[in-house]
Structure 1
Amino acid sequence: MTVRRRFLLTPSFVRLIRRERGGLPHLEGFFPEQQDRSSWVCLEEETGWLILKTVGPHGEIEDQTEIPVSHAHALLDVCAGKVDSIRTVLPIGEGHALVDEIVRPRALHLVTVEFASDREARGFRPLEWFGPEVTADPRYTHQSIALRGLDDEPEIPLSNAALNSLIDTLDGRFLAQVRVSSNRPKAKQVPVTRAKAQTREETVKANLDEIEAAMMREMEKALRKGKPV
């Protein structure tokens, strides 16, 4: 069983995460909802998945089956709704956060953390750079966004504490809080905005300096527009 907690993100943070870590196109197509089950197709780079989620007496169960890419494209053509995003897998301690920049059917920025049990999920403390939690709000599931859409994305104020927390995470300075479950292998992420240098040791400090400077510029713009910081 996979348990998820989902949080909103400010677009500026997502932009900086992608600048540092890159990302992969991630496309999901959902079939019409049924009372006790839902099914969808996932296509990430050259890997396709058919996923079935059922609700039973012991909670939700997901079954995932890898399928040929050609089959995934064929199924996506007949889905009732789709969510097109760029996903970055960001290490946090011993686990990972899934950072999604949704570009279709509307712009939305989310971070999702997966857990192997309810106990692990309850024990996780959200990081400072996470926005408001929307785990219990069904409007923010990918299925709901694909099939019913979403009216507005709430505005998330920036803060120095959130910026410092994000820089610490990108620099690997994060105390492990949870071991995140992973049900399928993650493809290698490809930077989408700029090429990476030859070695991590040579670039990490320069990259983080650039990120901090860029984030400060974003915060200055927000202040000039009268947004709370």
Structure 2
Amino acid sequence: MTVRRRFLLTPSFARLIRRERGGLRHVEGFFPEQRDRSAWIRLEENRGLLILKTVGADGETEDQCEIPAGHAHALLDVCAGEVDYTRTAVPIGEGHALVDELTRPRALHLVTVEFASDGEARGFHPLEWFGPEVTADRRYTNQSIALKGLDAVAEIPLSDAALDSLIDTLDGHVPAQAPMVASRPKAKQVPVTRAKAQTDGGAVKVNLDDIEAAMMREMENTLRKGKPE
């Protein structure tokens, strides 16, 4: 299980990070949310992912399988809402801070840190350049932003201490922290583009049972291809 903490970020810091480190464009399309399950498509450059999150007695479980990019494009066109953002992975110790610059459906800048457990997440001390934490505010999840939108966000004040902290981070000087998930970028961090197909604007109806079944088929195909002849 991956535990995430999320923070707002001042736009000028996000632009500085992208200028220094580049970024990868992501498009996520979400199907209508259900009480115990949600599903979405993620397109990372030319890599398509089908993701299913379920909520059970042991908490949230997130499964994903890779799908052809053409399938991902087709599914994005029937999603109920999308977010479009550039993600930059900034090394912090053994893990990364994931800096997201959202451009659609509205401009927003966020930084996310991933952990392997709740205890490790609680032991993390936010860096000085992070803005206010919004982990517990569901309005700032990509799903909520895609499906419900988001009102105006308060301006985040700048400080010399925050700027010094960001420069130290980009130079590789980060205070010791709780263990983090050692996530790595899947491709070279450069912005990419995607032409969005037009839809007829009709109502979207998706059965998440069909999405789950499709995920199982893709996983079975992947496992079958990996077996020796």
Q: TM-score, normalised by structure 1?
A: 0.81
Aligned residue for 2:199? none
Are residues 121 and 65 of structure 1, via their aligned partners in 2, closer, same or farther at CA, if it must alter by over 3 Å? same
SS at match of 2:19: helix
Are residues 34 and 4 of structure 1, via their aligned partners in 2, closer, same or farther at CA, if it must alter by over 3 Å? same
CA distance in 2 between counterparts of 1:158 and 1:13 reads 9
Q: Tell me the alpha carbon deviations over residues 144-174 of structure 1, each in whole angstroms, 9 at most, x when there is no partner.
A: 0000000112100000110000000000001
Residue correspondence of structure 1 range 1-229 to structure 2 within 5 A: 1-181=1-181, 186-190=186-190
Are residues 104 and 60 of structure 1, via their aligned partners in 2, closer, same or farther at CA, if it must alter by over 3 Å? same
CA distance in 2 between counterparts of 1:77 and 1:27 reads 11
Say if 1:93 and 1:177, in contact at 8 Å, map to a contact too.
yes
**Deviation >6 Å, runs of 4+:** none
Q: Tell me the alpha carbon deviations over residues 59-86 of structure 1, each in whole angstroms, 9 at most, x when there is no partner.
A: 1000010111001001100000000001
Are residues 19 and 184 of structure 1, via their aligned partners in 2, closer, same or farther at CA, if it must alter by over 3 Å? closer
Q: CA deviation at 1:181?
A: 2.2
Say if 2:24 and 2:190, in contact at 8 Å, map to a contact too.
yes
Q: CA deviation at 1:176?
A: 3.3
CA distance in 1 between counterparts of 2:27 and 2:72 reads 10
CA distance in 2 between counterparts of 1:101 and 1:73 reads 21
Q: CA deviation at 1:94?
A: 1.0
Q: CA deviation at 1:184?
A: 7.7
Say if 2:14 and 2:109, in contact at 8 Å, map to a contact too.
yes
Q: TM-score, normalised by structure 2?
A: 0.81
Are residues 39 and 183 of structure 1, via their aligned partners in 2, closer, same or farther at CA, if it must alter by over 3 Å? farther
CA distance in 2 between counterparts of 1:73 and 1:183 reads 25
Say if 1:94 and 1:176, in contact at 8 Å, map to a contact too.
no
CA distance in 2 between counterparts of 1:61 and 1:154 reads 32
Say if 1:90 and 1:98, in contact at 8 Å, map to a contact too.
yes
- In structure 1, the gaps of 5 or more residues are 193-229
SS at match of 1:90: strand
Q: How many aligned positions are there?
A: 192
- In structure 2, the gaps of 5 or more residues are 193-229
Identical-residue share of aligned pairs (%): 78
CA distance in 1 between counterparts of 2:39 and 2:178 reads 28
